[in-house]
């Protein structure tokens, strides 16, 4: 590791957008307050001045309208990037995402592709209560025809966009709100990442902690704590929620023979349920302990800090769950 400089996750997202806009005249952006305001999370700050209002298009509050506009523009040859402020608001665009973007390539017999990128903020922790805090990426991962990615580290925030734009399919990028201010060393020698594989972020032997997005750093902290107790935890960052990289997940589980899935989404009918079931289907006899999950409590995320914290996966709950699995609870 040489030549690295600290960079925020926000800046990584921003630089990715600038690079994409400079690289391809077909790329343009649409979204609420991305221009004059600079982006609700300041990711698009300065882009209006750099690229002008034709390519950095402030939209009215019309999620379905401008998301559908992204789909249509993608179908005729553009490479739109649509920003939706938070994934809670994306429900207003769900008709377009599911019934058009995800459906038209198959329904048209392969005549049309929808090379569209939709970025949105996800997740809790900012004390903004139940209509701005949910993690719906697992829902989107239910939908055939789209790809769902969740950058959890700086390199992914910086480079997943390029891969998403190169993909002929709709790609949804979920950026966790609690990551934007994170600062990590950024290695400029890494210039590309895939949007196909999961990554083992920490090697271990006793348990696999499978997670993604905003929960990754919690799981790495939990693995540190467990390490102090002599428990070697492996941490797998899914990176891509659809399609799932089964090989990496199963490879890790077969090695450690135990798995806990950590997911900020609700437990019932979740991506964690899907991962658990796939492990059951394909690695059942490799397991030494029942699968476990740490998910958000099944409540609308509340405002009061202690209540919000209690609703979310935390380092301590991950640590406790692993200890229980190993009979050391």
Partner 1 sequence: MTDKVHLDRPRLLHLLEAMVRIRLFEAKCVELYQAQKILGFLHLYDGEEAVSVGVIEALGPADAVVATYREHGQALARGIGMDVLMAEMLGKVEGCCRGRGGSMHIFDAKTRFYGGNAIVGGGLPLAIGVALGDKLMRRDAVTACFFGDGAAGEGEFHESLNLAALWQLPVLFVCENNLYSMGMALERAEAETDIARKAGCYTMPSEAVDGMDVVAVEAATRRALEHIRAGNGPAFLECRTYRFRAHSMFDAQSYRTREEVAAWRDKGPIVRLTRWMSETGLLHEGEYAAIEKRTKAEIEAAVAFAEAGTLEDPADLLTFVTMESVPQEAAGR
Q: Interhelix angle for 9-23 vs 154-166, to 10°?
A: 30
Closest CB to partner 1 among 67 and 256? 67
Burial class, 133, CB count within 10 angstroms (exposed 0-12 / middle 13-18 / buried 19+):
buried
Among the listed residues 103, 183, 117, 181, the one whose alpha carbon sits nearest the alpha carbon of residue 149: 117
Query: Among 77-85, 190-198, 256-264, 310-318, which window interacts with partner 1 (CB under 8 A)?
Result: 77-85
Question: How far are the Cα atoms of 49, 144, 248 from residue 215, in angstroms, in the given order?
Answer: 35, 25, 18
**Contacts (Cβ under 8 Å, ≥6 apart) of 94:** none
63 among known catalytic residues: yes
- Which of the residues 11, 32, 83, 132 is marked catalytic? 132
Q: Does 111 bind partner 1 (CB under 8 A)?
A: yes
Q: Which of 8, 44, 67, 90 binds partner 1 (CB under 8 A)?
A: 67
CB closer to partner 1, 75 vs 206: 75
Residues 17-56 that bind partner 1 (CB under 8 A): 28, 54
Q: Does residue 142 carry a catalytic annotation?
A: no
The whole-angstrom separation of Cα 182 and Cα 154 is 9
228 interacts with partner 1 by CB under 8 A: no
From the list 101-109, 153-161, 213-221, 291-299, the region that binds partner 1 by CB under 8 A is 101-109
Cα gap 266→218, rounded to integer Å = 17
**Segment near partner 1 (CB under 8 A); pick from 110-118, 177-185, 278-286, 300-308:** 110-118
307 binds partner 1, rule: CB under 8 A = no
In whole angstroms, how close is the CB of 145 to partner 1 at the nearest point?
5
State the Cα–Cα distance between residues 248 and 236, nearest whole angstrom.
8
Q: What angle do CA 170, 156, 267 make, to 5 degrees?
A: 70
Active-site residue set: 63, 132
Q: What are the residues binding partner 1 (CB under 8 A)?
A: 28, 54, 57, 59-60, 62, 64-78, 80, 95-96, 99-100, 104-113, 115, 144-145, 147, 168-169
């Amino acid at each position: 590791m040489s030549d690295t400089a600290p960079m925020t996750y926000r800046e990584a997202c921003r630089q990715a957008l600038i690079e994409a806009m400079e690289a391809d005249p077909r790329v343009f952006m649409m979204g609420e307050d991305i221009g004059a305001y600079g982006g609700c999370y300041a990711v698009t700050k300065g882009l209006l001045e750099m690229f002008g209002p034709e390519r950095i298009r402030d939209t009215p509050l019309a999620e379905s309208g401008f998301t559908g506009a992204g789909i249509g523009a993608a179908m005729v040859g553009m490479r739109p990037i649509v920003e939706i402020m938070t994934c809670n608001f994306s429900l207003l665009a769900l008709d377009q995402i599911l019934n058009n973007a995800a459906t038209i390539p198959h329904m048209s017999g392969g005549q049309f592709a929808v090379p569209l990128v939709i970025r949105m903020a996800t997740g809790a922790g900012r004390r903004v209560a139940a209509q701005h805090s949910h993690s719906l990426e697992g829902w989107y991962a239910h939908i055939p025809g789209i790809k769902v990615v969740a950058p959890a580290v700086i390199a992914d925030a910086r480079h997943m966009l390029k891969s998403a734009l190169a993909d002929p399919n709709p790609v949804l990028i979920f950026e966790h709100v609690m990551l934007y201010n994170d600062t990590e060393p950024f290695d400029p020698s890494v210039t590309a990442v895939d949007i196909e594989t999961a990554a083992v972020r920490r090697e271990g032997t006793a348990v696999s902690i499978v997670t993604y997005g905003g929960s990754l750093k919690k799981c790495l902290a939990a693995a540190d704590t467990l390490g102090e107790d002599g428990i070697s935890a492996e941490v797998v960052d899914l990176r891509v929620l659809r399609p799932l990289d089964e090989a990496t997940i199963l490879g890790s589980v077969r090695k450690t023979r135990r798995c806990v899935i950590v997911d900020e989404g609700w437990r019932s009918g979740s991506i964690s349920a899907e991962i658990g079931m796939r492990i059951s289907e394909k690695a059942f006899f490799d397991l030494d302990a029942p699968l476990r999950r740490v998910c958000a409590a099944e409540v609308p995320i509340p405002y009061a800090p202690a209540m919000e914290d209690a609703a979310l996966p935390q380092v301590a709950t991950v640590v406790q769950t692993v200890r229980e699995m190993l009979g050391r609870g």
